[in-house]
Amino acid sequence: MDRTAVARVLDQIASYLELKGENPFRVRAFHAASKAVAGLAAEPADALADGSLAATKGVGQGTIAIVEELVRVGRSELLEQLREDVPAGLVEMLGISGLGVSRIRTIHEKLGIESLTELETAAREGKLAALPGFGAKTAENVLKGIAFLRRAQEFRLSHHALEEAELLRAALERLPGVDRALVAGEVRRRCEVVRELVLVLVADVPAADVFRSLALVPGVEEVAGADERRVTLRTPGGMSARIVVTPPVNLGAVFVQATGSEAHLAQLSDHAVEKGFSLNAVALWHGSEFVPTPDEAALYRALGLREVPPELREGTGEVTRAASGPFPRLLEPADLTGFLHCHSSYSDGAVGIEEMAVACREAGYAYMGLTDHSKAAAYAGGLSVDDLHRQWAEIDAVNARLSGIVVLKGIESDILADGSLDYDDATLAGFDFVIASIHSRFAMTEDEMTARVLRAMESPYLTILGHPTGRLLLSRQAYPLDLDRVFAKAAQAKIAIEINADPHRLDLDWRVLRRARDRGVMISIGSDAHNRAGIGNMAFGVGIARKGGLTREDILNCRPANEFLTFARARRPR
Instruction: Return the one option of DNA, Zn ion, none that residue 437 interacts with (CB less than 5 to 8 A, by type).
Output: Zn ion
Binding span for DNA by CB under 7 A among 26-34, 221-229, 488-496, 553-561: 26-34
Cβ atoms of 97 and 442 within 8 Å: the answer is no
443 binds DNA, rule: CB under 7 A: yes
CB environment 109-140: b (16+ within 10 A), e (fewer): eebebbebeebbebbeeebbbebeebeeebbe
Closer residue to DNA, CB minimum distance, 62 or 294: 62
CA–CA gap between residue 311 and residue 188 (Å, rounded): 7
Instruction: Return the one option of DNA, Zn ion, none that residue 161 interacts with (CB less than 5 to 8 A, by type).
Output: none
Dmax (CA) of the chain? 77
Size of the site for DNA (CB under 7 A): 47
52 binds DNA, rule: CB under 7 A: no
Binding span for DNA by CB under 7 A among 18-26, 152-160, 281-289, 312-320: 18-26
**Least CB distance from residue 430 to DNA, whole Å?**
24
**Least CB distance from residue 161 to DNA, whole Å?**
23
Q: Which residues contact 35 (CB under 8 A, 6 or more apart)?
A: 7, 58, 530
Q: What is the DSSP string of 288-316?
A: TEEE--SSHHHHHHHTT-PPPPGGG-SSS
**Least CB distance from residue 526 to Zn ion, whole Å?**
9
Q: Are strands 178-183 and 156-157 parallel, antiparallel or unpaired?
A: unpaired
Among 7, 33, 351, 408, binds DNA (CB under 7 A): 33
524 binds Zn ion, rule: CB under 5 A: no
Binding span for DNA by CB under 7 A among 235-243, 252-260, 425-433, 434-442: 434-442
Q: Which residues contact 99 (CB under 8 A, 6 or more apart)?
A: 93, 107, 142, 145
Residues in the chain: 574
Among 76, 413, 437, 524, binds Zn ion (CB under 5 A): 437
| Strand (E) or helix (H) holding 395 | helix 385-401
Binding span for Zn ion by CB under 5 A among 80-88, 281-289, 437-445, 504-512: 437-445
Binding span for DNA by CB under 7 A among 52-60, 271-279, 332-340, 455-463: 52-60
The contact pattern for DNA, residues 236-275, with x = CB under 7 A and - = no contact, is: ----------------------------------------
75-104 residues near DNA, rule: CB under 7 A: 96-104
Closer residue to DNA, CB minimum distance, 97 or 121: 97
Sheet containing strand 284-286, edge to edge, reads: 277-279, 284-286, 289-291
Among 1, 9, 29, 411, binds DNA (CB under 7 A): 29
Cβ atoms of 430 and 408 within 8 Å: the answer is no
CA–CA gap between residue 159 and residue 162 (Å, rounded): 5
Q: Which residues contact 77 (CB under 8 A, 6 or more apart)?
A: 69
DSSP 555: B
213 binds DNA, rule: CB under 7 A: no
Cβ atoms of 31 and 53 within 8 Å: the answer is no
Binding span for DNA by CB under 7 A among 134-142, 160-168, 204-212, 387-395: 134-142
Instruction: Return the one option of DNA, Zn ion, none that residue 102 interacts with (CB less than 5 to 8 A, by type).
Output: DNA
63 binds DNA, rule: CB under 7 A: yes
CA–CA gap between residue 22 and residue 551 (Å, rounded): 51
58 binds DNA, rule: CB under 7 A: yes
Q: What is the DSSP string of 73-120?
A: HSS-HHHHHHHHHS-HHHHHHTTSTT--HHHHHHHHHHH---SHHHHH
For Zn ion, which residue has the nearest CB?
A: 437
Among 45, 62, 71, 285, binds DNA (CB under 7 A): 62
Closer residue to Zn ion, CB minimum distance, 437 or 537: 437
Instruction: Return the one option of DNA, Zn ion, none that residue 378 interacts with (CB less than 5 to 8 A, by type).
Output: DNA
The site for DNA (CB under 7 A) is made up of 23, 25-26, 28-30, 32-33, 56-64, 96-104, 129, 132-139, 141, 378-381, 417, 439-443, 476
